[in-house]
Amino acid sequence: MAPLLTYLRSRGVVTVPTAVIATARERVLDAYQHYLRTERGLVPSSLDNFVRVARTFVDKHGSVTGDLTGVTAGDVLDFVSEQCRHQNPNRVATGLRVFLRYCQVAGLTTGSLSEAVPRVASWRLSSLPKTLAPEHVRSLLESCDQRSATGARNFAIVTVLVRLGLRAGEVANLELRDVDWRSGDLSVRGKGSRVDRLPLPVDVGEAIAHWLEHGRPSCQHPNVFCRMLAPLTPLSSGGVSDVVRAACRRVGLAPVGAHHLRHSAASEMLRTGSNLTEIGQVLRHQRLATTAIYAKIDYRTLAGVAQPWPEAS
């Protein structure tokens, strides 16, 4: 019913229900949600994950008035241990740590309980980024039939992913105003309400223009990419990844998400001679250490510094 109700509300046939905050606990969570949206600039999907952890914690340890002053470090440890049995440990620990810091600032707790949240063991840069070979990327693009409206949309989406290395959410959030055809650049809304401008390659511009001219139906929203079945709502980040997975199935590859194409874009830039600083600028990493993971797949440079294998004694 959700798509139907969304469409009817957009046409004014059905009124939008007004949220009623009935309890003190709900008021705490509503204020926390407002903080995440305005101060932290979280996107809806991340905001929901953070609020879900906070809601579970408040329901378990908060008083009827929403007061958390009686919570102890032991309560925090017990909560993390219990929730990590059936949830992602990183998500639980990060969500609870952010909520407890907010509680301290808002005066809901008496001390800094965020320090009681245990760190999840992880080894940064310990894995290799998962990429697709250049011939597999070409196969994905060739699998999109541009003669159809859906194929034109899917070809434009995959082209944006493999050429600019955008995240799925950034592709979903692209609006018509973000494409500056005169200056040849693209505005990208990234994490934390950050907006960056990237050059618009010719092939990316041609793919988007073909979709807008021959495929995109008449929509009320400003997003570049939309669903092809009514209601014609903007495509979600999950929908962008679904486009990539469907292309993988068409060419007989193991299904991967949109983020694999982001890694593949970085790998291709390395292969054609770009350095890590340039790759970090295209991928819009805030720290060079984040881009350093791609040094592991720069086999050409690594071969020059590799030490010979010691001879058997």
Percentage helix, strand, coil for the chain under 3-state DSSP, each rounded to 5: 55, 5, 40
Of the candidates 37, 189, 191, 245, the residue annotated as catalytic is 191
CA–CA gap between residue 232 and residue 6 (Å, rounded)? 10
**Contact residues for 49 (Cβ-Cβ < 8 A; gap 6+):** 91, 95
Does 294 qualify as catalytic in the annotation?
yes
CA–CA gap between residue 111 and residue 101 (Å, rounded)? 9
CA–CA gap between residue 280 and residue 286 (Å, rounded)? 8
> Do the strands 179-180 and 195-199 form a parallel or antiparallel pair, or are they unpaired?
unpaired
Of the candidates 163, 262, 263, 284, the residue annotated as catalytic is 262
Does 214 qualify as catalytic in the annotation?
no
Among 248, 249, 251, 223, smallest CA distance to 236 is for 223
Of the candidates 167, 260, 263, 284, the residue annotated as catalytic is 167
Does 285 qualify as catalytic in the annotation?
yes
Does 167 qualify as catalytic in the annotation?
yes
Catalytic residue numbers?
A: 167, 191, 259, 262, 285, 294
